[in-house]
Amino acid sequence: MSLYAMQKFFFHLNREPRVQQRYRVDRASLLAEYALDDEERAAIDSGDIGKLYVLGCNGQLLMHFAPMLGLSWPEYLQAMRDGIQKHGPVRRGIYAMTTGVDHKVAGL
Protein backbone atom coordinates (compact mmCIF):
# COMPACT_ATOMS: atom_id res chain seq x y z
CA MET A 1 0.00 0.00 0.00
CA SER A 2 1.11 3.54 -0.66
CA LEU A 3 -0.31 5.83 1.99
CA TYR A 4 2.35 8.45 1.30
CA ALA A 5 1.48 8.62 -2.42
CA MET A 6 -2.23 8.85 -1.66
CA GLN A 7 -1.74 11.70 0.79
CA LYS A 8 0.69 13.42 -1.57
CA PHE A 9 -2.01 13.29 -4.25
CA PHE A 10 -4.56 14.94 -1.96
CA PHE A 11 -2.03 17.56 -0.85
CA HIS A 12 -1.53 18.53 -4.52
CA LEU A 13 -5.25 18.33 -5.30
CA ASN A 14 -6.14 20.59 -2.39
CA ARG A 15 -3.58 23.26 -3.28
CA GLU A 16 -3.11 23.34 -7.04
CA PRO A 17 -5.88 24.54 -9.36
CA ARG A 18 -4.16 22.81 -12.30
CA VAL A 19 -4.39 19.46 -10.48
CA GLN A 20 -8.04 20.13 -9.61
CA GLN A 21 -8.80 20.78 -13.28
CA ARG A 22 -7.02 17.60 -14.35
CA TYR A 23 -8.96 15.65 -11.72
CA ARG A 24 -12.18 16.84 -13.35
CA VAL A 25 -11.24 16.25 -17.00
CA ASP A 26 -8.46 13.62 -17.10
CA ARG A 27 -8.58 11.75 -13.81
CA ALA A 28 -7.04 8.48 -15.05
CA SER A 29 -3.97 10.21 -16.44
CA LEU A 30 -3.53 12.27 -13.29
CA LEU A 31 -3.85 9.29 -10.95
CA ALA A 32 -1.35 7.32 -13.05
CA GLU A 33 1.31 9.84 -12.00
CA TYR A 34 1.09 8.69 -8.37
CA ALA A 35 2.28 5.36 -6.96
CA LEU A 36 -1.20 4.30 -5.85
CA ASP A 37 -2.36 0.74 -5.47
CA ASP A 38 -5.56 -0.40 -7.17
CA GLU A 39 -7.67 -0.03 -4.02
CA GLU A 40 -6.52 3.55 -3.44
CA ARG A 41 -6.94 4.50 -7.09
CA ALA A 42 -10.48 3.10 -7.17
CA ALA A 43 -11.46 4.89 -3.94
CA ILE A 44 -10.13 8.22 -5.23
CA ASP A 45 -11.70 7.75 -8.65
CA SER A 46 -15.10 6.97 -7.15
CA GLY A 47 -14.88 9.67 -4.45
CA ASP A 48 -15.33 7.12 -1.66
CA ILE A 49 -14.46 9.24 1.39
CA GLY A 50 -15.22 6.39 3.79
CA LYS A 51 -12.89 3.97 2.03
CA LEU A 52 -10.14 6.59 1.80
CA TYR A 53 -10.46 7.22 5.54
CA VAL A 54 -10.25 3.48 6.28
CA LEU A 55 -7.18 3.26 4.04
CA GLY A 56 -5.53 5.80 6.36
CA CYS A 57 -5.87 9.07 4.49
CA ASN A 58 -5.56 12.04 6.80
CA GLY A 59 -8.88 13.69 7.61
CA GLN A 60 -7.36 17.14 7.16
CA LEU A 61 -6.68 16.26 3.53
CA LEU A 62 -10.05 14.58 3.00
CA MET A 63 -12.04 17.49 4.42
CA HIS A 64 -10.91 19.61 1.46
CA PHE A 65 -11.74 16.84 -1.04
CA ALA A 66 -15.30 16.45 0.27
CA PRO A 67 -16.56 19.83 -1.04
CA MET A 68 -15.15 18.98 -4.48
CA LEU A 69 -17.51 16.02 -4.35
CA GLY A 70 -20.42 18.21 -3.26
CA LEU A 71 -20.48 16.92 0.33
CA SER A 72 -21.45 19.16 3.23
CA TRP A 73 -19.56 18.96 6.52
CA PRO A 74 -22.13 16.63 8.18
CA GLU A 75 -22.17 14.43 5.06
CA TYR A 76 -18.36 14.25 5.11
CA LEU A 77 -18.33 13.17 8.76
CA GLN A 78 -21.04 10.58 8.10
CA ALA A 79 -19.10 9.25 5.10
CA MET A 80 -16.16 8.48 7.39
CA ARG A 81 -18.45 6.73 9.89
CA ASP A 82 -20.10 4.78 7.08
CA GLY A 83 -16.67 3.80 5.75
CA ILE A 84 -15.77 2.18 9.06
CA GLN A 85 -19.06 0.30 9.18
CA LYS A 86 -18.68 -0.89 5.58
CA HIS A 87 -14.92 -1.48 5.29
CA GLY A 88 -13.84 -2.11 8.89
CA PRO A 89 -11.44 -0.25 11.18
CA VAL A 90 -8.97 2.33 9.88
CA ARG A 91 -6.03 0.24 8.69
CA ARG A 92 -3.07 2.59 8.91
CA GLY A 93 -1.95 6.16 9.40
CA ILE A 94 -2.61 8.38 12.38
CA TYR A 95 -6.22 7.22 12.71
CA ALA A 96 -5.39 3.49 12.73
CA MET A 97 -7.71 1.63 15.07
CA THR A 98 -6.22 -0.92 17.40
CA THR A 99 -9.57 -2.17 18.64
CA GLY A 100 -12.62 -3.53 16.90
CA VAL A 101 -15.37 -1.24 15.67
CA ASP A 102 -17.71 -2.37 18.46
CA HIS A 103 -15.17 -2.10 21.32
CA LYS A 104 -15.50 0.65 23.89
CA VAL A 105 -12.38 2.75 24.52
CA ALA A 106 -11.92 4.88 27.65
CA GLY A 107 -15.57 4.34 28.56
CA LEU A 108 -16.85 5.76 25.29
In 3D space, the residue among 54, 27, 21 whose CA is nearest the CA of residue 41 turns out to be: 27
pLDDT tens digits, 72-104: 999 999 999 999 999 988 888 767 766 666 666
Query: Average pLDDT in the 53-82 region?
Result: 94
What does R_g of the chain's alpha carbons equal in angstroms? 14
Q: Is the pLDDT of residue 29 over 70?
A: yes
The residue ranges of every structural domain in the chain are 3-87
Q: What percent of the chain has pLDDT over 90?
A: 78
> What CATH architecture does domain 3-87 belong to?
Orthogonal Bundle (1.10)
Please provide the DSSP assignment of 62-94 as one string: HHHHHHHTT--HHHHHHHHHHHHHHH-S--SST
Question: pTM of this prediction?
Answer: 0.84
